[in-house]
Amino acid sequence: MKRIFYFLVLLLALAAASPALAQTGGPEQPAVHIVQRGETMFSIARQYGVSVEAVAQANGIADPRLIYVGQRLLITGATGTPAAWVSYVVRPGETLESIAGQYGLAWHTVAQANRLLNPHRLSAGQVLRLPMSTGRTVASGVHAVQTGETLTGIAFHYQVPLWQLMEVNGIANPALILPGQWLLVPGQRPSWMPAPFTAIELSPLPVRQGQALLVTVHTDQPVALTGTLFDRQLSFFEEDEVYYALVGVHALTEPGLYELNLAATDGAGGQAAVSVGVVVVDGGYTYERIDVPNSRSNLLDPALVAAEQQRLAELQGLFTPIRRWHGPLSQPVESSVSSYFGTRRSYNGGPYTSYHAGLDFNVGGGAPVHAPADGTVVLAEPLAVRGNAIMIDHGWGVLSGYWHLSSIEVTVGQEVHAGDVIGRVGSTGLSTGPHLHWEMWVGGVAVDGRQWLAATYPWVSLEGSAAP
C-alpha cells in the first residue's frame, strides 16, 4: 500500500552510491563534476547552488535531459561545497546506524545533516548526504545480537578476529553483550532479513516514473516466491539460484514511497515475509502539442482508441519464462529521437490528459526497422490508430512494439534475432509524417526505452547469465 510520504532529502540530490567529488583549482576556476548514475541536470545544479541553465550554457548542452554517466561538467559560480560531502543511496535492509558506521560517523550526525523526520526508518532509494570532514571510512555491516549469542561466536560466524570486533565496538569485556545490541562487523554488509531471505537488491535506486525496476532476491535455499508492488502481483524468474522480477513503474505514478512486499515458502512449507520501502521520483517529463490533420481526426474517437488498447493489452501482459534479451538492447533504427517517452501530450489543443508511451525516431519512410533483441513475434497486423504494427515478446514480461510501419516483414510466431529486419518505416494510422514509434513494456506497463539502450546498462548482474 502506498504511503503518502515525501523525503526532503530527495529534493537535495538524486545521486548514486559512489560519490562525485568536485575538483577545484582555485577560487576563480570552475568546479568539475563527473556525472554519476541516477543524477539529473537538476540535481547537479541544486547540489552546487546554481541554475540548470547555467550548467547547460557552460557546457554547451542544448537539451538538459541528455547527460550521461561519466560526463565531465564544468560548474561555474558554484556556492555549494560538495567536496565535503558524498551522496549515498539507501539499499534494502540498511539502517541509519549501519550507514553511519561505514563512514565513521555518528548516526545522529547523519540524521541532522539530512533533516530526517524519522531517523529510525529509511527506505530503499532514499538519498542521504554524508559529511566527510572526518576523512574516515569503515566498511562495516551491523549485527543485532540474538539471545544466546556470544561475541566469540559472532566473530567466528563473520570470520573476523575477536579483538577487531571488540576494538571497533569499544568492548572491553567480550562477555558483556546483550540481546538486541547492535555490533559493527568490519568487512560485512548488513542483512536483517528473516530466513530464508539473505539479501534483496533493487536497481535502479531511486526509480523514476517510466522506468523498469529490477528486484533481485537471494535465499539460502530454493523457495516459492511471491510479491506485490503498486498493488500488482510480481512474476519471479530463477537463474543460477537467484530470483528476479521486473516491475514497470507507470509514467503517471505519483512520486513518493511505496511498499514492496515479498513472501517466500520453502520446501518444508515454512513461510517468511519481508517489506521494503521503494522511493519513486519524478521523471522530469515535458509537454508537447500534437495537431492531427482533419483527414485523420476520426482516429481520436475514444471508443476506437479504447477498443484498440484492449486488443494490445491482451499481449502486453505476456509472461514467458525464458529470457531472450541480455545486456543493452540495440536501437531499432539509425536515427535521432524526435519525441521522448513520457512527454505529456495535447491533441488539437485539448487538455494534457495523455502521455507519449514510446520513443519517436525521426527517420524517412522505407528505412529498415531492426529487432533490438531476440524474441518471438506476437502481433503483426494493421491497426486503426497505430497503423501497421508489430509486437515482439523478449521474455520475462519484456515486450517491444513498432507502429506506423509502411510494411510488415514478419509473421506471428516467427522467431527473430537481434538485428533482423522486421518491417519498414512509414506513416500509417494516427501519424503526421514518416517516423518510427517504438515502445517497450515491462509487466504490461509502458516504460522508457532509453533505459534499455543505455551503454551503462543498469542490470550488469544479468549480462552473463542470459538464456541461449
In the prediction, which pLDDT does 411 show? 97
The pLDDT assigned to 297 comes to 63
Half-sphere CA count of 433, side-chain side, radius 13 A: 9
Residue 347's pLDDT is 73
Q: Residue 363: which pLDDT band, with cuts at 50, 70 and 90?
A: very high
Among the listed ranges 46-50, 77-81, 98-102, which one has the minimum average pLDDT value?
Answer: 77-81
Phi-psi region of 269 (alpha: psi -120 to 50; beta: other; left: phi over 0): left
Which range among 10-19, 24-33, 89-98, 330-339 shows the weakest confidence by mean pLDDT? 10-19
pLDDT digits (tens, 9 = 90+) for 249-259: 999 899 888 88
Rounded average pLDDT over 70-90:
66
CATH class of 8-131: alpha beta
10 Å CB burial of residue 199 (0-12, 13-18, 19+) is middle
Please tell me the predicted confidence (pLDDT) of residue 77: 73
Express each pLDDT in 144-163 by its tens digit: 677 788 999 888 888 888 88
Q: Which fold has domain 287-453?
A: Glucose Permease (Domain IIA) (2.70.70)
130 near 83, Cβ under 8 Å?
A: no
Residues contacting 66, CB < 8 A, separation 6+: none
DSSP result, 188-199: -----PPTTEEE
Q: Range with the lowest mean pLDDT among 8-12, 39-43, 61-65?
A: 8-12
**8 Å CB contact between 292 and 432:** yes
3-class state of residue 214 by DSSP: strand
Beta strands at 344-347 and 287-290: parallel, antiparallel or unpaired: parallel
Query: pLDDT at position 142, please?
Result: 61
Nearest residue to 399 via CA among 314, 342, 338: 314
pLDDT for 412 equals 97
Dist. CA 302–CA 1, nearest whole Å: 31
HSE, side-chain direction, 13 A CA sphere, residue 24: 15
CB distance 96 to 45 below 8 Å:
no
Closest to 423 in 3D by CA, of 414, 187, 431:
414
The per-residue pLDDT for 6 is: 36
Band of residue 292 on the pLDDT scale cut at 50, 70, 90: low
Please state, for a pLDDT cut of 90, what percent of the chain lies above it. Answer: 33
The amino acid present at 331, given as its one-letter code, is Q
Mean pLDDT is lowest, of 23-27, 183-187, 387-391, for 23-27
Are the C-beta atoms of 271 and 264 separated by less than 8 Å?
Answer: yes
User: What 3-state class would DSSP assign to 122?
Assistant: coil
**Helix/strand number for the chain, H first, E second:** 8, 29
Q: Where are the domains of the chain?
A: 8-131, 140-186, 197-281, 287-453
- Sorted by sequence, the CB contacts under 8 Å of residue 18 that are 6+ apart come out as 36
Cell of 57: 550554457
Is residue 226's pLDDT more than 60?
A: yes
- Position with higher pLDDT, 146 vs 449: 449
Cα–Cα distances in angstroms (integers) from residue 316 to residues 25, 211, 295, 448, in the given order? 53, 16, 30, 15
Predicted confidence (pLDDT) at residue 431 exceeds the cutoff of 90 = no
Say what the pLDDT of residue 19 is.
Answer: 35
Task: Please tell me the predicted confidence (pLDDT) of residue 458.
Answer: 57
Segment 348-375 mean pLDDT: 88
328, 453 contact by CB (below 8 A): yes
| Higher per-residue pLDDT: 7 or 237 | 237
Most confident of 98-107, 206-215, 299-308, 366-375: 366-375
pLDDT per residue over 44-69, tens digit each? 887 777 888 888 888 878 777 777 76
C-alpha cell recorded at residue 393? 515478446
SS3 440: strand
pLDDT grade for 409, boundaries at 50, 70 and 90: very high
Classify burial at 170, counting beta carbons within 10 Å of its beta carbon; exposed 0-12, middle 13-18, buried 19 or more. Answer: exposed
Sign of dihedral through CA atoms 134, 136, 139, 140? negative
> If we measure between CA atoms, which residue out of 70, 90, 96 comes closest to residue 13?
90
Q: Would the CATH topology of 8-131 be identical to that of 287-453?
A: no
Rounded CA-CA distance 141/127 in Å is 19
What does the alpha-carbon distance between residue 293 and residue 395 come to, in Å, rounded to a whole number? 38
Q: Is the pLDDT of residue 17 over 70?
A: no
Q: Pick 185 or 383 by higher pLDDT.
A: 383
Largest CA distance in the chain: 86
Question: What pLDDT sits at residue 232?
Answer: 94
Query: 295-304: b or e for each residue (b if 16 or more CB lie within 10 Å)?
Result: eeeebeeeee
Smallest CA-to-CA distance from 237 within 416, 394, 415, 412 is with 394
Q: What is the pLDDT, as a whole number, of residue 459?
A: 65
User: CB neighbours of 206 closer than 8 A, spacing ≥ 6?
Assistant: 10, 14, 38, 89, 125, 126, 127, 279, 280, 281
Residue 18 is given by DSSP the state S
More confident residue, 375 or 459: 375
pLDDT, residue 401, reads 97
- Which grid cell sits at 185? 562487523
Average pLDDT rounded to a whole number, residues 239-258: 91
Distance CA 258, CA 260 (A): 7
CATH number of 197-281: 2.60.40.10
**Mean pLDDT for the stretch of residues 28-48:** 70
CATH number, span 140-186: 3.10.350.10
Which of 372, 370, 371, 365 has its CA nearest to residue 387? Answer: 365
Q: Is 188 exposed, middle or buried (0-12, 13-18, 19+ CB in 10 A)?
A: middle
Q: Are 192 and 210 in contact (CB under 8 A)?
A: no
Provide the mean pLDDT of the chain. 79
